[in-house]
Structure formats: structure tokens, C-alpha cells
Amino acid sequence: MVDIGFSQAMSVHHQQAVSMAHTVLERPGASPEVRALATTIQAAQLGEIGWMGGWLDLWNAPAIPPAAGPMYWMTTNATYYCGLHHTAMPGLATQAQIDRLAAASGRGLDVLFLQLMLRHHEGGIEMALYATRYGHLPQVRALATRIVFDQSQEVTLMTRLLRGYHAGALPFSLSPALAHSAVGTVLNETPTLRSQNSLQNALGQ
């Protein structure tokens, strides 16, 4: 059940990341560093979507999780791995935030993309950490391990870039698993925006 549920949920999760990366690459004024990051995320996660989609086909499983319970596959120690909100897919941007990203440009585009993708990665790492522990097939655990490693490196890069913009991260309640992971120290030391006003200030609005 974990292998199927993880592949379904992470595929959907990845699709939003790919969409956000594509938006940045299509909009004007993104910095070279952010464009390079978006390109890397888009390429890596499209490949991983392909792997997970292939597995789901082989297993005759639906390509997406049930809308009413996308995290149904997290049962054992779910709160440890996804905090108190393990019934919802963690880290996803809202449609309003996606719309704002699509309308942004220049510095505002860089900052908002980094903030949304950082939170997105926080949720993705939580999901992948669970699969590294409870996945059944070694191929699934190996992919989950790679996701944790790659996204942890990208989290470190994004926090550095945000500091360069004097911008904080969006609020995200770290699960115990994420807080105690290799990237947890970076996340725990990253300033977090606590209000809409501070978000607007960070974006130069």
C-alpha cells in the first residue's frame, strides 16, 4: 500500500513543482540562479514522475490518489513523519499563490518561487522520508532516498538565495522526522515570514 500511495501522491506533488518551474522559465526577469534551479527541478521531477507512473501502470493502480484521502498510505507513525496534518498533502501551493507566481516578474518572481518551492520541498521530503522507512520494494525506497537527497540539497540552496534577498521562508510546521533529518538544521535556522505584511515587504510590494 505504501509503494502505491507514495507513487500516486508524489507524482501529483511533483506535477505542481514542474508547473511552478515551468512558470518561472516562461516569465521575464528571473535570475540566472533561479532559472538554473527551475530547470533542474523540472528535469529531475519529470523523470521521477515517469518512473512512478510506470510502476503504477505495472501495478494496475490509479495514477492519482483518492481526493478525499491522498495520504491514506501513511498509517504507521504518520504524525511523526507529517506532523498533525498528515491527512492533507504537505507543502502544496494554493491556487491563489500559483496565480500570483504566474503574474510576478523580476525580483518578486525569484522570491515567491523560492518561498513556494522551499515549502513544497519541505512537504515532499516528509513524504519521501516515510517511503524510505516504510516502502516495500527496494526500487521505491531507492527513489525516495534520492528525492530526500536531491531536495535537501535544493533546500539548502534556496535558503541561501532567500537570505541574499533578505526574505524569509513561508510558515511550515516541521514534522519531527523533517526536523531531525539532515536538512532539519538548515530549516530550523531559516527565518520565517509570520504575516502577510512581511511577505509583501519581502516581495518589494
Query: What pLDDT is recorded for position 204?
Result: 44
pLDDT at 203 over 60: no
Query: What pLDDT is recorded for position 197?
Result: 41
Kindly list the domain boundaries of the chain, sorted by start residue: 2-64+84-202
Query: What pLDDT is recorded for position 86?
Result: 60
Query: CATH number of the domain at 2-64+84-202, please?
Result: 1.20.1260.10
Query: What pLDDT is recorded for position 67?
Result: 81
pLDDT, one tens digit per residue, over 107-157 is: 999 999 999 999 999 999 999 999 999 999 999 999 999 999 999 999 999
pLDDT, one tens digit per residue, over 26-78 is: 998 999 999 999 999 999 999 999 999 999 999 999 999 988 789 999 988 88
On average, the pLDDT of the chain sits at 90
Query: What pLDDT is recorded for position 85?
Result: 59
Place of cell 506532523: 83
Q: What is the pTM of this model?
A: 0.90
